[in-house]
Amino acid sequence: MDKASGSGIDLDATALGSANPAQQTHVAALAAIVGADNVLTGVADRYAYSRDRLPFALYQLRAQQLPATLPCAVALPGTAEEVASVLRYARANGIRVIPFGAGSGVLGGTIPLVQELMIDLKRLNRLVEVNPTDATATVQAGMNGWQFEDALRAQGYTAGHLPQSITMSTVGGWAACRGAGQASSRYGKIEDIVVGLKAILPDGQSLEVRPLSRRAVGPSIKDILVGSEGVLGIITELTLRIWKLPEYSSAAVMAFPSIEQGFDACREIMQAELRPEVVRLYDQAESAQRTSGMEAFNDRPILCILKFSGKKALAEVERTLALEICAKHGAVLTTDGPYHHWEETRFNSYSTQWQTDGYFMDTIEVTGNWSKLPQMYEQIHRAVHAIHPEIHFGAHWSHVYPEGACQYMTVRLPPMELEQALALHRKAWETVEGLCLDLGGSIAHHHGAGLFRGPWMRRELNAGLGIIQILKDGLDPDNLVNPGKLGLRQPAGSTWKE
């Protein structure tokens, strides 16, 4: 047993609201830090924080099972100082904690394994400063993603980070998970956009990485926190690059004869130093869903949506050059319908209806290099189809780079008995992640590792996982801050079962 398991807040159904004097002391202490209204101990509140959007957890909830435990309580600090005080109190009392943004993560990063205290950051929700000279914006970590982008747009700027989940996630959550937005081919992933941050380490110490374009003072401390998924501390403030809103944009919808020709065109566009705002190449299954009745796709069944934006003169040239590249690879320009449909629905979640109807739907995103992507798609496609006669598999590539791209896959099993579905679902993940690693890819492009990708982290990072564990042990020797995530050591008493 490690230290916290015996001395943390007890969690039976009555938890912190109970008559247990030790628990009442903890509640009173937390209330003294964040205010009584900002400590939640009711069972309904704790249920709401018992999972994120990990589909595996949703399947269990649908079957009236908890993925692991309820949290013991929820604290909502309103300042970075309050975050530090909560962490100091938690360390002094062996209470395990989990930073919580908006719970839109899909890998179980905020699932409480041993009745942790949730630290919800939504009260840290202010746009602190827009600096037009440096082209940066400073924002508190708990600010809702869309409210942040909207506030920038009101001043004529964009951060260029537009994930599908923008309305249901926080800026801190984007950074903690190393996320990607739909305009990543132009503006980069969040690790390219964040230039500085403030965080509170597990012992309550403040850390600041001043927002500077570049530095040469050893390994990047910023990048130790970006992608750390709450295991090394709590990010309280971020400074992001911003850009003037584009004065012009123009989309193009292309029909390609084959995926391979689509890959070649996307690769050449990125290697020609063009900067499309949007590139979305779909496999045949996903293309068919979006192009029904369009003649151009009869003999060219692969859809690719491109969008160029920025200064008009430059964007027009980029579009012309990109279309030449597409034509060289057998594509024709078609009408804009699929682009407008995507634009109108780009921030919608498609999984909810399937989940409600009893299906077992999940998405898995990996990264591959261009030299391996055709095989990666082909092999994964074939192997997933072999798992179950009625399994649905579809893929698209919407984050593209000079070296390779993200392969984003949807896997869906029909309604069936829970135990059978969980085993098949597990097999689909093993198939996808295993083949991806066999072909030299990365098991995750932007959803993070959370809890669910733990089993593949050793193969993904090899000795690198040991480096992260050493950092974790040094900063958090009692394994109190989001324990058991990122493939790191599980806390004693963890009830998580895959």
Residues of the shown chain interacting with ligand FAD in the complex, contacts defined by CB under 6 A: 52-53, 98-106, 109-110, 121, 141, 163-165, 169-170, 172-174, 176-177, 179-180, 229-230, 234-235, 349, 446-448, 450, 482, 485
In the complex with ligand FAD, which residue's Cβ is closer, 142 or 330? 142
CB of 452 to ligand FAD, least distance (A): 11
In the complex with ligand FAD, which residue's Cβ is closer, 123 or 312? 123
In the complex with ligand FAD, which residue's Cβ is closer, 164 or 287? 164
CB of 103 to ligand FAD, least distance (A): 5
In the complex with ligand FAD, which residue's Cβ is closer, 316 or 343? 343
CB of 123 to ligand FAD, least distance (A): 12
CB of 448 to ligand FAD, least distance (A): 6
CB of 461 to ligand FAD, least distance (A): 17
CB of 299 to ligand FAD, least distance (A): 32
| Identity at 55, one-letter amino acid code | P
In the complex with ligand FAD, which residue's Cβ is closer, 71 or 179? 179
CB of 104 to ligand FAD, least distance (A): 3
In the complex with ligand FAD, which residue's Cβ is closer, 204 or 301? 204
Contact 117, 185 (CB under 8 A): no
CB of 408 to ligand FAD, least distance (A): 9
In the complex with ligand FAD, which residue's Cβ is closer, 133 or 348? 348
Residue 438: beta bridge partners? none
In the complex with ligand FAD, which residue's Cβ is closer, 40 or 255? 40
Nearest residue to ligand FAD on Cβ basis:
173
In the complex with ligand FAD, which residue's Cβ is closer, 259 or 481? 481
CB of 60 to ligand FAD, least distance (A): 17
How many C-beta atoms surround the C-beta of residue 327 within 10 A? 13
